[in-house]
Structure 1
Amino acid sequence: MRTTFDFTPLFRSSVGFDRILNLLENTARADTAENWPPYDIVREAEDRYAISMALAGFSDNDLTLTQDGNVLIVAGRKETDDNAQYLHRGIPARSFERRFELADDVRVEGASLIDGLLTVSLMREIPEEKKPRRIEIARGSGEHAKPAQQAQIAGAKSAKAAAPQPEPAAA
């Protein structure tokens, strides 16, 4: 089912954005060949994801999965039977390559092909040095302060020591 969008109201209120709106309109009318094979991206838990692709007719030998840095590449190469005479051919058997941009620290855990559905399991593992950590605030001594702050603390202490002390009241 194709859905078209009327961007005319946006054209009326914009100046200089016509190229962007044309790109949006062209994207909405994108050819379905570029959108094949269909896929879902599911968040299974806070740090776990799955990409599912509908690949009817493909076997695991027809598919290759590659992670190159932050890009997951799923490619399928299907051999066609030139001797077959189709009266109707509705199951696509064309080659494809789909690229998924992965976030930092996301790695591929594995993949499975069951009943024509390829599922790629992803896991986000944040290294300890990138995780948020609580920083304690040093009190009083200034031992963790920067040199300028240490000089300020030392100056405040010496000024306090040099200040005249009130004489104790006579009893």
Structure 2
Amino acid sequence: MSRVSLFSSPLLLGFDDIERLLDRLGKTASDGYPPYNIERLTADTDASQHLRITLAVAGFGRDELQVQVEENQLVVRGKQKDDGSRAYLHRGIAARQFLKTFVLADGIEVMGASLEHGMLAVDLVRRQQEKLVKTIDIREGRG
């Protein structure tokens, strides 16, 4: 049985990627680890918008974290190395790996990332974009 969606309208050309993205977001939205904040920082005078995503990654070192931009997504990965030399009597802090993705709108750039006191901050900027208006010449005939 085929699935009918809002994006199957003939007026929405080329939105297949958005539909797949929404499906993926619905599946990963329930995972709350690691917890994170998204904040709007004070705007500069250049009309750009500055954002910061802060993830609570206590116990992870800089070499155990990876921040990448893959197509239109910010991907943050964390993988702790298991220290086999330790003999735990109780282990309440799990060495848990994670993958957290954030969809980036057009025009959003990742400016950098920093790790301090177990908090990973990823700074983003959205620059004011110029409105694009393009006039298409109309030719005679098909071709």
TM tier relative to shorter chain: 0.5 to 0.7
Which of these residues, 105, 114, 137, is aligned with residue 103 of structure 1?
105
Higher helix share: 1
Tell me the number of residue pairs that the alignment of Structure 1 and Structure 2 aligns. Answer: 100
Choose between structure 1 and 2: higher strand proportion.
2
Structure 1 unaligned blocks of 5 or more: 1-26, 134-171
1:66-85 aligned within 5 A: 66-85=68-87
- Residues in 2 aligned to 1:63 and 1:69: alpha-carbon distance in whole angstroms: 19
- Distance, in Å, in 1 between the alignment partners of 2:122 and 2:92 is 26
Structure 1 match to 2:140: none
Distance 1:40 1:92 in 2: 22
**Paired residue for 1:90, among 76, 89, 92?**
92
Shift of 1:67: 0.7
Matched with 1:36 is: 33
Which structure 2 residue ranges, 5 or more long, are not aligned? 1-26, 44-48, 134-143
Higher RCO structure, 1 or 2 (CA under 8 Å, sep 6+): 2
Moved over 6 A (4+): none
> Cα 1:126–1:70, aligned 2, differ >3 Å: closer, same or farther?
farther
**In structure 2, what is the Cα distance between the partners aligned to 1:122 and 1:52?**
11
Equivalent in the alignment of 2:63: 61
The residue type paired with residue 37 of structure 1 is: P
What letter matches 1:95 in structure 2? Q
> TM-score scaled by structure 1?
0.53
Q: Secondary structure at the match of 1:67?
A: strand
CA deviations over 1:82-139 (Å, ceiling 9, x no partner): 2322222222321111000112111101110001100000000133245xx9xxxxxx
- Conserved? CA contact 1:51–1:120, under 8 Å: yes
Match of 2:42 among 34, 45, 50: 45
Map 1:152-163; keep pairs closer than 5 Å: none
Percent identical residues: 40
1:67 aligned partner, one-letter code: V
**Amino acid paired to 2:127:** E
